Each structure stands twice: as structure tokens, then as C-alpha cells.
Chain A
Amino acid sequence: MSPLNWTRVFAVMAKEFVQLSRDRLTYAMILALPIVQILLFGYAINSDPRHLPMAVYVQDHSAFSRSILTSLQNSSYFDITREARSPAELDRLMARGEVLFTLTIPPDFSRRVVRGDRPQILIEGDASDPLATGGAVSALAALPQRALAADLVGPLSPRAAVQPFEVVVHPRYNPESITAYNIVPGLLGVVLTMTLVMMTALGMTRELERGTMESLLATPVQPLEVMIGKLAPYVGIGLIQTTVILVLAKLLFDVPFQGGWGALAAGVLLFIIGSLALGFLISTVARSQLQAMQMSVFYLLPSILLSGFMFPFRGMPDWAQAIGSAIPVTHFLRVVRGALLKGLDLAESWPSLLALAAFVAVVTTLAMARYRTTLD
């Protein structure tokens, strides 16, 4: 090998820099990627989420009950957001994911505390995402000792010496807290996003880049015909991927299939169509396959980080939850996890399905509006 000639090295380097500076999108990505990553990881993601929504069903309206609620709030792990009037209402709130915890205080609670019976209060947690609820559950250990400390004074002070009541924690949906139960259904959303958005975005941009779009546009074929024809094969691909992932989830990880087939089917279909339409929209903006690729990656990032796939959705600050709510994966994950882990069907999952449908409608409209039948 002949020795390095630094003039030639420099020639290649200078050319590379010039080309890089001409590609404004790549430039933007180089700057935006670290900034967005830092912001997302730094501020939005919290693996010890606090302020988790809790619904309470208090049958004993006493000073003791109030102290327990206050103590829960003060732990900063729980936000009491709903007051239920029946156990059934508690169940419903948790099933829909409106709260992650429920608290039930029995009717004769204060009387039995005074008697020294060590009565039980029940806290149920949604363990479908063990990461989201783990920290809060361990915080409960200190509750009996502290909650009533201020109330149990004077003649009642002996009651404070031992634990005056017991907290029964009942994890639901995923009682053994197996992370795979939560991750594997979530993977479905990420895999579909990754392949479908990218494949469509690249597929359309390839026609533009290779010049075949010119031939295609010179024929009498219409925009909607192109869109349906180009996307239909990918619907099939998406369905095959879904089947593969679900079968593996069952065979390898023994993920529970609680039912909710209607919601699951509707969710998968809406999500596939939404992802394809988004890919199509990207292809109407991107001018090369490289740009389409970069835009897809840029979309993939929040889909993984802000959707509740990798990190607890409830653990994120409000602004991050707002961004997350605009991403279809977020709603898709709720539908899939709801169906597989909780057996939720159309009746319970409709808000998420509606959000997915809205996404499909908006993105399809935008894509059709941007698609040109001419080369202008």
C-alpha cells in the first residue's frame, strides 16, 4: 500500500463537508437529533413515575380516612383524581386506564382502628406495566406507620406503636409483574410503525428518485388509484407481521390473551392504515429516499419514547403526555394491551380507537392534498 497522501484525504474530506452542508435536512437532523433526545430522555422520561392517578372508594368518612388520603397524596406517588361510589365503578376506571390505582376503605375502618383490630384497606394497582407502578407500590410499605401518626395521640397512642392498620396490595392484570407481558404487545406497535411507515415512504420516494414517477404520471392513472394500489400490499404485510408477533407472544412468552378480539382487530387495521398513510404523506414531502428515511426515523423516536412503549406514559410531564397523545402508537398500545391483558373490547376501547380513526382521517386528507398528479 502506498503511503497516505494528506492532500487527497483532505480533498475527500472537503467534498464531504460541502455535500453535507448542501443537504439541509441531514444538517437539521444532525442538530435536532441530540437536542430532541436530550429533552426527551432528560425531562420526559421518568422510570420512577410519581403522581399516578388513583380512584378512591371511601366507605368510612372519618378523620382517619382523610389522613390516609392526605398521606397518600403527600407521598407524591399518588394523585387522587376520582372518587367512586361502588366497587364496580373502581373496576371500570381501572380497566379503562383512567386510573392506575384504586383504594378501598371499608365502612367500619376507624372503629376497628380504635379497637386495635388492625383493619385492612385494599389498594389495587394496574400491574400491566410493572415499571409504572413498582415505585408507588414500594412506597406503600411505609403508609400504615405514618398515615395516622398525628391522629393516634393521647389515649390512642398505644395503637400507633404497632401498625394500626394493614395495607393489602393487589396487583391486577399482570399479578406476577412480568415485564414481557407489557413489552411484547407493545412491540407490535413499534414493529408495525418501523416497517410500514418506512416502507411506504421509501417506496413512493423511490419512484420519484428513479424517474419512474414521470412515466406513471403520464398514464391516465389517478391519485387515489396509485395510493390504494401502492398501499394495499403493505396492509397484507402488516397483517402477517401482526400474526407472527402475536403467535410468538403466546408461544414464547405465554402472554395472556384475555379476549377483546373486536377491539384488537379494529385497532390493528386502523393502525396499519394510519401508518401507511403517514408513510405516503412523508413521501409527498421528501425529495429523496434518504430524506424519507430520516423523516421516518424522526417519527419513530417519539413513537418509542413517548408512547408508553418503553417508559411509563403516566410518568411523563403533561407536555410530554400531550405530544404522546398525538402519536398513534400511544393509542394503539392502549388498545392492544387492553385487549390482551385486560380483555377490553370495543365498548371500553372506543376512545383510543376513535383517536386512531381521527389520525387516519387527518393524515389521509393531508396526503391526498399534497399528492400531485403533475410534476409541478
Chain B
Amino acid sequence: MAASPASLAVDVRGLNKSFGDKHVVNDVSIQVGTGRVTGFLGPNGSGKTTTLRMLCGLLTADSGEGMVLGRDFRTQAREIKLRTGYMTQRFSLYEDLTIAENLQFMARVHGLDDRERRVDASLDRLGLQNRRDQLAGKLSGGWKQRLALAAAILHEPRLLLLDEPTAGVDPKARREFWDEIHGLAADGLTVLVSTHYMDEAERCHDIAYIAYGRLIARGTADAVIADSRLVTLRAEGPGADRLASRLAGQPGVEMAAPFGLALHVSGTDRRALDAVVAPYRKPPLSWTEVEPTLEDVFIHLMSRQEDVW
């Protein structure tokens, strides 16, 4: 990422956080370009939520330094909170308040002027106007998520932190949600969003990948794939998917996984990979080299990280 420091909404280095003797975030540095949508990826328990919480002042970092929206994230948490929207992983608005009441509460807590108009505008934009008097607790997952987003951006923040916003939401609602996110980014909002979904990762401008508390890859999706130097071979034909167990664990094979009826075999050492695959390069199987998917790359990164650990 060739952004100069001035255009970074988040520029934090050496972030550490332990709970008891568990080192949850280990020396993570994270940069998010202003106006960009950055995907924050990593397996469960890798420290994504903890990192997001430290950025918006919900948790105190053990160490680390840097700026969020041009302010020291360790000493100016209040300033940052005023300009940051945070959407929690679990629905965290009041289920026993209506949609409109929740938004009005958020508007008051943020000390906004012209509250009625803002709440109205927000309801309009998210298509919640005709549900405004419905209790938040009675909403389905997709609507709850829309409401949570509306509440997070009500005070027109400059940075939006989203913690797995689409978990448990149907594909159509997810698509609409992402369209909304990109719309907001086009208006200049910076977005850092954690997710497990690879299709969502591909919709981000940049990606940051964290595993076991360490940041292990970042850049655009294409750059992350290219940087991995991963070679992926695809076998098609009857019985291809059943080869996975036989190839997995062979020298040079970092990953062998069925994709439907086809098989993907990946490794960084092309020669070793070719050698392992050679005995099976015969009909009825046909082999092609394909571009590794982001998922291939992440599974590769994860397994490599496990070894280092």
C-alpha cells in the first residue's frame, strides 16, 4: 500500500494485549487508508475483536503506539470515540426499545443537534421508516444488522469499525449491506471490517490477515495472493476429489482440498508439487494450473503460522 502517513485513518504499530497469561494480540501493526474499505481477516480467536476494541478505546492496549484519525489512540480515546462508529459482533442495541427510540438514544448520547431530522434521515436511508415503532428485539437478523449500522453511523463518523457484521445474515441482506458499505466509503468514510467470508474479503480494497495474534499479510487481495507465491493445481475427472487424503501431507503439498468434484492441491515449491502429482497425471484426470483463491492463500498462511508458533 503506497499511501503516505497523512492519508492513513488508522496507523497503529506494535499493538499488544494479554488477558491473564493469554497473549491475544501480539505486536500487531495495522494501517487503514482514508476512504478505503479494509478487510480484517483471521481465524476464530485470532485477536480481531480485541484489536478493533483497542482501536476504539473499549480495551486498553498493554503496549503499542500510533494514531487513529490523527489522534493518539492511547491518550485521546474520547476524541476518537466522537468520530468513530463501532458495530459490535453481537447485536448490542436495546431490544426493549423501538428502532426509532434506539436511534434517538444514540443521537442524544453523541450530543447531536437536529436529532429528529437525523434520525428520520437515517431511517429513510436504511428503509426502516415503516418499522420505526417496532421493538428492536423483534427484528430478524438482517434488520437488526441494518439498525446496528444505522446507529453506528448516525453521528457521521469518519471511521467505521465493523466486527463480523454479516454473521448469521442471509446472502441477499449481506449483498445489500456491502453495497451500503461501499456507498459510505465512496462518500469518504474509512471502514475496517472483520469477516470470515472470503467473498466479502474480495470486496474490500485492502486486506489485513491476522492469525494467532500476529499480522501475517496485508495489501490488496491480488497483492496478497501474489505475495504468497502459492502454486495451485486443479484436478478434474472422476474420483479427483477422493485423492485429497492421499496427497495431503506429502512433501511439498501444503493443502489438498476437494472443491466440489474437483481437487485443489497447493504448495509454494512448484517442483516438489509437480513430483507429488506426477503419478496421477494420467486419464481420466486432467490437471490445470489455476490462480489460487484467497481462501487457498489464507489456509496456506494459517498452516504456515501454526508451524512458526
Contact = CB atoms under 8 A, between A and B. Distances in A.
28 contacts: A210-B92, A211-B88, A211-B90, A211-B91, A211-B92, A212-B92, A213-B92, A214-B88, A214-B90, A215-B86, A215-B92, A215-B93, A215-B151, A216-B109, A218-B56, A218-B57, A218-B58, A218-B84, A218-B86, A219-B81, A219-B106, A219-B110, A220-B82, A220-B109, A374-B59, A374-B60, A375-B53, A376-B59
Interface in A186-242: 210-221
A268 B93 CA distance: 35
Contacts of A219: 81, 106, 109-110
A375 B58 contact: yes
A212 B105 CA distance: 12
A252 to B, nearest CB: 36
A154 B19 CA distance: 89
Contacts, number: 48
Interface in B113-138: none
Nearest to B80: A220
B131 to A, nearest CB: 20
B124 to A, nearest CB: 22
A213 B81 CA distance: 15
Interface of B: 53, 56-60, 78, 81-82, 84, 86, 88, 90-95, 106, 109-111, 151
Given A212-B92, A212-B94, A217 B58 contact: yes
Contacts of A210: 92, 95
Nearest to B50: A375
Interface of A: 210-221, 374-376
Contacts of A218: 56-58, 81, 84, 86, 88
A139 to B, nearest CB: 59
Contacts of A217: 58
Contact of A375 (B59, B95, B106, B110): B59
Contacts of B106: 219
A218 B78 CA distance: 9
B156 to A, nearest CB: 14
B93 A212 contact: yes
Contacts of B111: 220
A135 to B, nearest CB: 53
Contacts of B92: 210-215
A216 B86 CA distance: 10
Of A219, A221, A374, the most chain B CB neighbours within 10 A belong to: A219
A220 B78 contact: yes
Nearest to B148: A215
